[in-house]
Each structure stands twice: as C-alpha cells, then as structure tokens.
Amino acid sequence: MEEPLRDGRTLVVQLRDRIADLIREAGLQPGDKLPTEAQLTARFRISRPALREALKLLEQDGIIYVEHGRGRFVSAISAAQVDRPITVFESVSDMTRHYGYETRSDVLSVAEEVPDMVIARQLKLGPGERVIRLERLRLERDEPIMYCVDYVPRGVLPARLDDIDWSGSLLALLGQYKQRPRMSAASVTAVMLPDAVIERNNLQDFGPALLITETCFNAAGMPVIYAMDYHRGSHFSFSFLRR
C-alpha cells in the first residue's frame, strides 16, 4: 500500500516518524527485519537518498540496527514506548503540532544588537559581530503556551530585518539561506518566566515552565541559532529513554 508523504514537516523527519509508526502498526518485535529499501521507497513514494537519511535517524535513535550483509532490524529499544523523546530535534511548529496544537506566533520584538559574552561564545562570534534577537509568543487559541527568544548571527541572515516575516518557522527561514539547523546541544531547566517578561506581556498566569536552552548547528557544524524556549508546564511534557 502506498503512503505518499504530504504534510508540512521536513521530508526526512516526516519519513522517520512514518517508519517508526510502521514498526508499531505492523507489530514488529525486537529482532524482526525491517522491510527492504525497495519496499519502503515504493510504499512512501520517496527517493532512496531521503529514505537512507530517515533510516540513519532511526539508527541514531536506537530504534533500528544494521547487520551488514543482512539488512536492518528492529532493536530492543523499540519495545520501550516514549511519547515525546526529548532527544528529537525539530522545529517548534512540528513539536507543537505533535501535541495537537495549531499555534500562531506573535512577534514581540526583533532587533540587531551586540551579543553578550554567553551568546557570543555559544554562537562562536568574533569581536564586533552582531546578532539578530527575535522574541516571540506561541499561542494556542489566544492562550500563550510558549515564550521564545532566538539569537541568530547577523551574517547568516543578510536580508533587511523589515523584509522578513518573523512569524513563520525560523528553521525554514534559515533553510532559504542554506543554513538550516540539523542538530542541537540542549539543556532543560524547570523555571518561572523572568519577572520583566511577565509584566511586559501580561503573563501572570503562565505558571512554571520547562526552559530548553539550545545551540543549533547547520550541516557543517556551525552554530546558527542560540534559543531559549519556555514551554508552559501545564501544556508540555517530555520523555526519554535510559540505557
């Protein structure tokens, strides 16, 4: 049965998730062999290079393993069902969609500025280099569920700030300049929103948040985003495997 891919996520991430779904729906057990590349490309009507990238992601996640000369097999980790692996790298739009939210972004501010020492170090900026600071709220049916601050090296986005639609996906925007992030190094902390942010944006009811601070890297390994995303604790939870 053919299952063409047509939603808005990046193709490789979308395909990775569909193959993971296939493993569960087909009842494949640890040690069972995955369908062949030819079978998967026919099923999803996708190119073989894209398929191999998706299979690499599944292998990195430990969902499958490779035995050279024999094929790809379902790993023991697949038996542990994790609702939202915190190790998944994806856009905020994709992540909120997974939770069933159809969010919109309110751009609170966008400005070019001199970075402080922490941001300059995370983005590996030299003396005199500047950043774009983007501050946004993510809302679900007019209810704030995320407060986000992103820093992007100015040299990565050479366009005039006023010519950019900042309410869309930042990852997609960077992709237009061949700088789309492919991975990140992140940390998670339970916090409250900063008092100044609460007062300035009338967020007294936001409550506790999970702050994910991450540095995102492009395919060449260069940092292109330093992000601080405050996920409203009443709306988000993340899971992980221990091994």
* Burial class (CB within 10 angstroms; exposed 0-12, middle 13-18, buried 19+) of 164: middle
Please name which of 160, 99, 132, 159 lies closest in space to residue 225, comparing C-alpha atoms: 132
* 28-51 pLDDT per residue, tens: 999 999 999 999 999 999 899 999
Residues 223-242 have a mean pLDDT of 88
Plot region of 178 (φ>0 → left; ψ -120 to 50 → alpha; else → beta): left
Question: C-alpha distances in angstroms, 59 versus 16, 166, 179?
Answer: 10, 34, 24
Question: How many CA atoms, within 13 angstroms, populate the side-chain half-sphere of residue 234?
Answer: 9
| Contact status, residue 235 vs residue 147, Cβ threshold 8 Å | no
* 122-166 pLDDT per residue, tens: 999 999 999 999 999 999 999 999 999 999 999 999 999 999 999
Residue 14 has pLDDT above 90, yes or no: no
Helix, strand or coil, per DSSP, at residue 189: strand
* Encoded tokens for 189: 């902390």
Percent of the chain with pLDDT strictly greater than 70: 90
pLDDT bin (cut points 50, 70, 90) of residue 7 is very low
Highest mean pLDDT among 70-79, 176-185, 196-205: 196-205
| Cα distance between residue 169 and residue 167, in whole Å | 7
- DSSP track, 191-219: E---HHHHHHHT-TT---EEEEEEEEE-T
What is the pLDDT, as a whole number, of residue 240? 67
Length of the chain: 243
* 69-98 pLDDT per residue, tens: 899 999 987 766 555 556 667 778 777 877
| Contact status, residue 107 vs residue 136, Cβ threshold 8 Å | yes
- DSSP track, 162-178: GGS-TTS-HHHHHHHTT
CB atoms within 10 A of CB 221: 8
Strand bridging mode 223-232 / 183-191: unpaired
